[in-house]
Amino acid sequence: AKLEGDLLGALHRDEIAILFQPQFDVATGELAGGEALARWDHPSYGLIGAETLFAVADRGDHVSQLSRHIARRALAMGSAWPANLRLSLNVTAEDFAVGDFAGTIQRVVADTGFPPTALTLEITEQTLISDFEACAAALRELAADGVHVALDDFGTGFSNFRALKALPLDALKLDRSLVKDIAHDPRDRVILRAMIAMSRALDLKVIAEGVEDEAQLAVLREEGADIFQGFLRSGPITPGEFLGLTA
């Protein structure tokens, strides 16, 4: 009960920290953008991860306020980035089920001056089922503004091929469980190759996450993945550290 009661105050006291995990071009190794990852920098408990943060927000029915807060803060930071870099924001179907989240994103884009074509929304399938149509419609509205949409966590238990067909997607983001063994297990490599072939045929970019060693990156390069992120190059870093990478 304690943490729930703190959350609204935390939003006002600016205790929600936003880190960015850099994303790189597989072919060239160049910085391509960053994924915004939220943390709660709690005065007594220290850094609280996104999963706990959102669980606490959910218990207090404050998820939509939290998501809107993160969108506004992340895009304000991103508006200082070079124009060629993409900013990825994690969103869920639940975000689109409350109020007019597409309108919120459009307003944040207008207020911050962040170019919509440099924004990628990473949508997870976890909660897509119940609010699928509303979510698809909202994403189509944003896609019409030039916002990009990536299907996140692809390859986890929530993978839903319906989303591939019905959402206005630009990219498929392969979960790190699909990336982990590609350099050692031929079966994992076959699955990777098939996912990339499918993505090509659907005109989707392929983003690989959880890349931890050079052998994995070499396989991604040979198979033709587009973008990667992972501890091999960088974990999540502060906005200041991220800007340092662009200098």
Binding site for Na ion (CB under 5 A): 152-153
Q: Is 50 in the site for ligand G (CB under 6 A)?
A: yes
61 half-sphere exposure, CB direction, 13 A CA radius: 1
Stretch that binds ligand G, among 84-92, 107-115, 191-199, 214-222 (CB under 6 A): 84-92
Q: Is 209 in the site for ligand G (CB under 6 A)?
A: yes
Q: From the list 6, 94, 125, 152, which residue makes contact with Mn ion (rule: CB under 5 A)? A: 152
The conformation of residue 160, written as its DSSP 8-state character, comes to: -
Q: Is 87 in the site for ligand G (CB under 6 A)?
A: no
Say which residues have a Cβ less than 8 Å from residue 144's Cβ, sequence separation at least 6: none
Stretch that binds ligand G, among 7-15, 23-31, 139-147, 227-235 (CB under 6 A): 227-235
Q: How far apart are CA 159 and CA 154, in angstroms?
A: 6
- What burial class does residue 95 get, using C-beta atoms within 10 Å of its C-beta: 0-12 exposed, 13-18 middle, 19+ buried? buried
Q: Is 88 in the site for ligand G (CB under 6 A)?
A: no
- What's the min distance (Å) between Cβ of 56 and Mn ion? 19
Q: From the list 1, 9, 51, 83, which residue makes contact with ligand G (rule: CB under 6 A)? A: 51
Please say which residue, 6 or 153, places its beta carbon nearer to Na ion. 153
Say which residues have a Cβ less than 8 Å from residue 95's Cβ, sequence separation at least 6: 63, 64, 67, 101
Say which residues have a Cβ less than 8 Å from residue 2's Cβ, sequence separation at least 6: none
Q: From the list 3, 11, 37, 108, which residue makes contact with ligand G (rule: CB under 6 A)? A: 37
Q: How far apart are CA 97 and CA 134, in angstroms?
A: 7
- What's the min distance (Å) between Cβ of 233 and ligand G? 9
Q: By the criterion CB under 5 A, which residues form the site for Mn ion?
A: 90, 122, 152
